[in-house]
Amino acid sequence: MADDVRLIRYDASDETASRQRSQTCDDGLLEAFNVLTEFSSSQTNEKVVAAQLITLCSTNNPVNRAKLQTKGSEKVYEGLVSMLKLPLENVDDIMAQRAAAAAGEAIWITSFNNEPNQKGFHKAGVVPALSKLLLSPSCKDTCHYALMWSAAAVGNLAANYCDTDTGHCHYDWDIDDDEIPYLGTIEESPTAIDNENIRVQFIKTPGIVRRLIDLACTGPVKQKHQHSKYPWPTRAEVSKDEDFKSIIPWAATGALRNLILSPEYPDSVADDVTCFCEFIMSPDWLEYEKAEDSLYRLGLSAEEYCPLPFDEYCEDFDGWISTDGKNCVDYETDALCIEYGDVFDKDGNMSANKACCICGGGIIEEDDAGSEL
C-alpha cells in the first residue's frame, strides 16, 4: 500500500482502506498467517513482509484484526513474538532489527481493543519478549525502530478499552466514600477490557519502568523536523527515518501513560517524569497528547506541577505580530517556536525568538525594579 509512506500509521489512508476491503487482504492475511505458523522454515524477509501485511490490513480495521484469532492460530501469536527476539541473537543484523520492528508494530495495531489478541500474545510470552528487547544493552544505541514499536506495543497491551465507538476510555478523578481520590472511567465510557494483569507483569519486570522513563525523557523533539536527520514522529517516513532516536519518546510515553493506570505503579515515578512538562510544549501532537494524559492520570496538574517554561519576570515585546499574523500567545498555545521561531514581524525588525518569552526572548525585568536586562 505504497501510497502511505508514514512511519507511524495511526489511521489508514484512503488507498489502504480500499485494499483492506479487497481480496488483497483476504488472501494476503491467510498467506501471512501461514508464514508465521511455519516460523522455523520461513526466511526473515518473509516474516517481515507477513508482519507488515498484518499491520496494513488491520489498521483502523477491527474485522481484520479479529482474523488473527478467527483465521489464524496460536502459532501466529508465537511467530510475531519470536520475531522480537531476533535482534538479541544478532544485534548487528539489520534484517533482524527490521523484523523485530515489524513484529512490534503488528502487535501494537492488532492489540488495540481486541481481547482475544491481547490474550493470545500474552500466552505467547509477549511481556518478557518485549521487556528483554527494551532492556537489551546491545540494542541501547541501535535498534531505534524496534525500540519504538516495542514501547508502542507495551502501550496498547497495557491499555484498558471501553464501550465507546473507538474503544478509547475517558477518565476523570473522583472521591470515594472515604474521601480518597481515585481515577476512573466516566459513565459514558464503561470499561470493557481491563488489562491489569499485563500491566502488573510489566511493572514487576525489574528495570522496565525505569527504562521506559529514560527513553521517554530523551524527548520531546527540540529541533525542526528534517527527514533522514531529525524526524518528528508524526512526520517520519518509511525508509528515511527509522534509525533516529527522536522517533522513540512518544511511544515510551504512551506505554507509561497506560502502566500508570495500575495501582501497582510506583508512587515515586511521579518525581521521575518532570520531562512530561517539556512534552506538553512539544509541537508534535503524538508527544504532547500522551504527556498530557500521563500527567492527568498521575493526578498532576500541569499548571501546578510544571515550572514556567520561561523566567517569571519575562514579558513579551508588546504588540509583536509575525508576518503571518501570529502573536506570542499563539506561539505558546500552538507550540510554534521550534518550527517558526525565526519568523520576523511584518516590519522585519524582530523574530519570535527575540520577541517572545516562550521562544527564549522577551524582556526580563528585575522584581519591582522595572529595568531591562
**What CATH number is given to the structural domain containing 89?**
1.25.10.10
Q: Within this chain, do residues 342 and 207 fall inside the same structural domain, yes or no?
A: no
Residue 372's pLDDT is 45
Q: Within this chain, do residues 119 and 27 fall inside the same structural domain, yes or no?
A: yes
Give one DSSP letter per residue of 103-131, joined into a string: HHHHHHHHHTT-HHHHHHHHHTTHHHHHH
| Start-to-end Cα distance in the chain | 56
Helix (DSSP H) and strand (DSSP E) numbers for the chain: 19, 6
Distance between CA atoms of residues 190 and 167, nearest Å: 10
Q: Mark which of 277, 305, 333 sits at the end of a domain.
A: 305
| Domain housing 260 | 14-159+195-305
Q: Dihedral of CA 284/156/6/233: which sign?
A: positive
Single-letter residue type at 49: V
pTM, 2 dp: 0.93
Q: Dihedral of CA 258/264/267/273: which sign?
A: negative
Q: Within this chain, do residues 301 and 319 fall inside the same structural domain, yes or no?
A: no
Examine residue 50 and state whether it is found in any structural domain, yes or no.
yes
> Helix 94-111 and helix 74-83: axis angle, to 10°?
130
Distance between CA atoms of residues 17 and 58, nearest Å: 9
Q: What is the CA radius of gyration of the chain?
A: 23
Examine residue 34 and state whether it is found in any structural domain, yes or no.
yes
Single-letter residue type at 5: V
Residue 271's pLDDT is 67
Nearest to 259 by CA among 212, 222, 304, 189: 212
Q: Within this chain, do residues 101 and 223 fall inside the same structural domain, yes or no?
A: yes
Q: Within this chain, do residues 216 and 352 fall inside the same structural domain, yes or no?
A: no
Residues 351/341, Cβ–Cβ less than 8 Å: yes
Nearest to 288 by CA among 336, 355, 329: 336
Distance between CA atoms of residues 266 and 254, nearest Å: 17
Q: Within this chain, do residues 240 and 324 fall inside the same structural domain, yes or no?
A: no
Residue 2's pLDDT is 57
Q: Within this chain, do residues 206 and 352 fall inside the same structural domain, yes or no?
A: no
Residues of the chain with pLDDT under 70: 1-2, 269-271, 366-373
Total of domains in the chain: 2
Q: Mark which of 261, 277, 305 sits at the end of a domain.
A: 305
Q: Mark which of 273, 305, 337 sits at the end of a domain.
A: 305
- The single-letter DSSP state of residue 60 is T
- The single-letter DSSP state of residue 22 is S
Q: Within this chain, do residues 146 and 240 fall inside the same structural domain, yes or no?
A: yes
State the cell numbers at 365. Answer: 525585568
